[in-house]
Structure 1
């Protein structure tokens, strides 16, 4: 059984469906673990690049899971039919790249998404609010830098995750992460405050970023009182 690093273990933990698609699957380690862990009955691994595509096919063959994991060549959700999957994961890419894939997906988007950007999830939270997806779970995994992991679900109406949390801070750092607290999120915010304090000046974008970080830190401080 393939091993996963901590960020992909967090992604795996947020998947539970009948049919799941892993977009940009690379070597298909995540789909193999999804099937082995009975977190889906079937997976579709989508990969565009020829090298990883062939690696994914070999990985599935070695695991003898060809009946449950289908490897498809294509870009984003292009190889997925509307309504074909209950959830999809996009991991290990920049937030700009993930958002672009989501915006191009149209009616192929499933009702649940598990996203792991390699940078700030701000763009993805903004997209979710515009597209009618609610934040249902968030993780922040320590690594080379902090890796956010989000589970989004398509639901109508305002997202209750943002109730009672300053919006700018929640969009930047995560409404559920701020509610939960912990050393990883605190370390990230404190590092931002320290970094931005050296360069911020009124009228600059860095000033607004500093104020957002200070607000987020205050949320954590009030939480532990």
Structure 2
């Protein structure tokens, strides 16, 4: 009998992603080491995964780890760019993590009919482009997390739905898009620190007509919404 391969550990941001996924079929785009799909299968959160990886090194690593975990029949590793290797309707949800928000938004825009009805996204910078895409594409923001790390990592759970997204109701849109409607309502200490850091960074740059002025006003508006700590 072969040795039992240990279940891979995930860092806190990927643990947050893991905890927002529970479907029959899931795709992990840009999976790198395939640790997230392996955990999803082993914890019974999904029955079948598709791993998509563009670059040869991470692709080989993903295949090695899937084979080592003896999950070849449950995890299909494919070479390709973004959602391109998927068939329309093949998976119920997809995760895209560890990339810039602009890169993730580009993957989703190019995905067309391959974009599944549920998404969990973890950008490495401001998720504003992803919240904007979701509103344009008919996806509602079901949950958000802000995970401490080298910087605060946002995690977004989106679901295709009709009509205006109720998450943004009764909130200033600019502040909600930049800082997250659910996060603003929760008002965590980490979010306060993030917004205050923006105020400190933007204050010396702000002047009428500058982008920094608009961003500073948005940050100040968000602090006002949060009220006294």
TM-score range (shorter-chain normalised) is over 0.9
For 1:75-94, list aligned pairs within 5 A: 75-94=81-100
The two structures have a TM-score, normalised by structure 1, of: 0.98
Of the three residues 6, 9, 13, the one matched with 1:3 is 9
SS in 2 for 1:135: strand
For 1:205-220, list aligned pairs within 5 A: 205-220=211-226
Other-structure match for 1:60: 66
What are structure 1's unaligned runs of at least 5 residues?
none
For 1:1-225, list aligned pairs within 5 A: 1-221=7-227
Alpha-carbon shift at residue 219 of structure 1 (Å): 1.0
SS in 2 for 1:70: strand
How many residues align? The count is 223
Alpha-carbon deviations, 1:189-210, whole Å to 9, x = none? 0100111112111111100000
Distance 1:175 1:133 in 2: 14
Alpha-carbon shift at residue 152 of structure 1 (Å): 0.4
Distance 1:203 1:99 in 2: 27
Distance 1:133 1:72 in 2: 26
Q: CA RMSD in A?
A: 0.8
Distance 2:33 2:210 in 1: 43
Distance 1:164 1:193 in 2: 23
What are structure 2's unaligned runs of at least 5 residues?
1-6
Distance 1:125 1:138 in 2: 11
Alpha-carbon deviations, 1:61-92, whole Å to 9, x = none? 11111111110111111110000000000000
Give structure 1 regions of 4+ aligned residues with deviation exceeding 4 angstroms.
none
The two structures have a TM-score, normalised by structure 2, of: 0.96
